[in-house]
């Protein structure tokens, strides 16, 4: 309405903007995610690197009302894609970054333990945990919360193959929502054109 009145020649409009500082971000050696809001609006989260030890990566939970900053997760590997659940205001999904990328190599050191890109942490104080182990050669990437305690991600088991999948936290079941394609003689460009990427 103000814009319409101004356009009709009623004179310039005036806008007042105020801002409130919620909290100071923790001292860090680099942010690893954007700010993300919990489903009830109570918290913001952000991933960052410890300034005194670049091997330590943390996820902060910032209470909007009080400005209190707590550490939701502290891990020894790089994190990214930090995002609160759409339905559970205490649950955060995040990605573990591996040097080799999001597809597990065909040959991995068994002593290194299972590989899992997708991790979770809640606000109970217990350590973060991997959601599902990836098999040798398996891709998991671009995870995103969906409905009813489920999240989608892109993944497959063959080179360049990527289906749109959904993981159900209640049943621990993985289903294919949108099938990509793979065939032995397909080139990487041909298969990639028939795959799913950045699904949300």
Query: 42-97 pLDDT, tens per residue?
Result: 999 999 998 889 999 999 999 999 999 999 999 999 999 999 999 999 999 999 99
Give dist(CA 95, CA 69) in Å, integer.
21
Contact 85, 93 (CB under 8 A): yes
Enter the DSSP assignment of 190.
H
Give me the chain's average pLDDT, please. 92
Query: 132-173 pLDDT, tens per residue?
Result: 999 999 999 999 999 999 999 999 999 999 999 999 999 999
Residues 6+ apart with CB under 8 A from 175: 165, 166, 168
**125-159: burial string, b at 16+ Cβ within 10 Å, e else:** eeebeebeebeebbbbbbbebbeebbbbbbbbebe
Give the residue from 40, 90, 86 showing the smallest Cα distance to 65. Answer: 40
9 pLDDT higher than 90: no
Give dist(CA 150, CA 174) in Å, integer.
10
Higher pLDDT, 3 or 81: 81
């Amino acid at each position: 309405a103000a814009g319409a009145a101004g356009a009709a020649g009623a004179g310039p409009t005036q806008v007042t903007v105020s801002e409130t500082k919620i909290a100071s971000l923790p001292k860090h050696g680099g942010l690893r995610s954007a700010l993300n809001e919990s489903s009830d609006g109570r918290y913001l989260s952000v991933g960052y690197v410890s300034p005194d030890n670049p091997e330590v990566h943390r996820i902060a939970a910032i209470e909007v009302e009080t400005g209190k900053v707590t550490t939701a997760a502290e891990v020894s590997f790089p994190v990214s894609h930090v995002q609160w659940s759409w339905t559970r205001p205490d649950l955060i999904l995040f990605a573990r970054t591996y040097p080799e990328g999001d597809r597990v190599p065909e040959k991995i050191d068994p002593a290194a333990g299972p590989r899992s890109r997708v991790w979770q942490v809640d606000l109970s104080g217990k350590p973060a945990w991997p959601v599902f182990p990836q098999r040798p050669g398996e891709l998991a990437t671009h995870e995103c919360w969906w409905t009813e305690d489920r999240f989608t991600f892109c993944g497959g088991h063959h080179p360049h193959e990527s289906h749109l999948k959904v993981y159900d936290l209640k049943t621990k079941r993985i289903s294919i929502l949108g099938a990509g394609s793979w065939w032995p003689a397909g080139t990487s460009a041909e298969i990639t054109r028939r795959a799913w990427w950045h699904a949300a």
